[in-house]
Amino acid sequence: MHKALRPFAPLLWLLSLGLAAPLHAQSLQDPGYRYYEVGDLDAAPAVHTEPAMMLMGGGEWVPEAFQWWLRRAGHGRVVILRASGADELQERLYRDIGGAASVQTLAFDSRRAADDPAVLRVVAAADAIFIAGGDQSRYIRFWKGTALNAALNAHVRAGRPIAGTSAGLAILGGYSYGALDGGSVTSERALHDPMGSAVTLDNDFLSLPYLSNVVTDTHFGKRDRLGRLIVFVARAAQQAGRDDMVGIGVDEDTALCVEADGRGRVLSNDDGYAWLVMPRHTAERLRDGEPLDFHAIPVTGVGSGSLLHLDRFDVDDPAFHLTADIRDGDLLLR
């Protein structure tokens, strides 16, 4: 039966199952999260899971992608992590998509919750983890450097699927746009002020296979984000001191589904793409107070008939090839 528990109730519920530490006076304070559940929480863990990443660009969910992902989770227990909203995503996943034994949601209101033993026990029992959309700066501020951060990386190392959509995808790359200035930088602003305070990159957060030198971006074609992703790649290359940084943008209503061996295929409701940005060289001009100069940047489209090899960043049967040139902050495509 579905339950929507009051702010301090998750700890009491977990205590009843022997999952939480003994209750004491501080346990009655707001723990910094809300908890929801649906499905059979007494079901045995999945017999078999496979490493898998579902990289979703936001917008509408792609049911076929979720079904692919849930098969790799052994149709077991899914945990949704978010920093806004309530139980609507778990209801949709459990009842409309189907195929999960249970779905639990943890909605975070503070950093304190990311070290809560009750939270960590829920996450540790997950066969698959889905990071919802919203504001990625909250994920970085609430989770980075916490026990939950370590638990997420342990989940991936254990060979269990992970997924993220919109803000949840934005944090999956080894380098991520953190939106830490409180906004969402446009391509135009990023290109003309690439070293400005609006371009906030973060790293040393999540460690996913094949993504250590990747910056991810979302809502890609619809919000005209190619320019800003190129800036993110240029900044990440400068920050890391390497010239092999890669950008991956995913369109709305679209998912890039990545197998354990790094092969990725696009599934989409609306003929969307994943966009591979791979300069293999550093920017010609990336300085404070000056627009970006960055020339001859290959951009490859990964469509429904393509196969992306993340182990070497090659694309079989690409949907398109473009070359981007940025001069004085102006983006030209050919």
CA–chain centroid gap for 245, Å, is 18
> Could you tell me if 160 and 51 are in contact, meaning their C-beta atoms sit under 8 angstroms apart?
yes
For residue 52, report the phi and psi dihedrals to the nearest 5 degrees. Answer: -165, 145
Closest CA to 108 of 137, 139, 78: 139
Show the tokens assigned to 229: 């992703």
Q: Which residue segments constitute the domains of the chain, with CATH numbers given?
A: 1-166 (3.40.50), 173-334 (3.40.50.880)
Show the tokens assigned to 326: 């940025």
CA–chain centroid gap for 37, Å, is 22
> Could you tell me if 153 and 206 are in contact, meaning their C-beta atoms sit under 8 angstroms apart?
yes
Q: pLDDT tens-digit profile of 27-52?
A: 446 799 999 999 999 999 999 999 99
The reported pLDDT for the residue numbered 19 is 41
Closest CA to 106 of 91, 93, 123: 123
Distance CA 114, CA 313 (A): 34
CA–chain centroid gap for 216, Å, is 8
The reported pLDDT for the residue numbered 204 is 94
Q: Which SS3 state, helix, strand or coil, does residue 87 take?
A: coil
Those residues of the chain that have pLDDT short of 50 are 1-28
Say what the pTM is: 0.91
Distance CA 65, CA 63 (A): 5
Give the 3-state secondary structure of 218-287.
CCCCCCCCHHHHHHHHHHHHHHHCCCCCEEEEECCCEEEEECCCCEEEEEECCCCCEEEECCCCCCCECC
Closest CA to 174 of 148, 147, 149, 204: 204
Question: The tokens 């929801």 sit on which residue?
Answer: 36
CA contacts within 13 A on the Cβ side of 204:
4
Pairing of β 128-131 and β 162-165: parallel
> Could you tell me if 127 and 77 are in contact, meaning their C-beta atoms sit under 8 angstroms apart?
yes
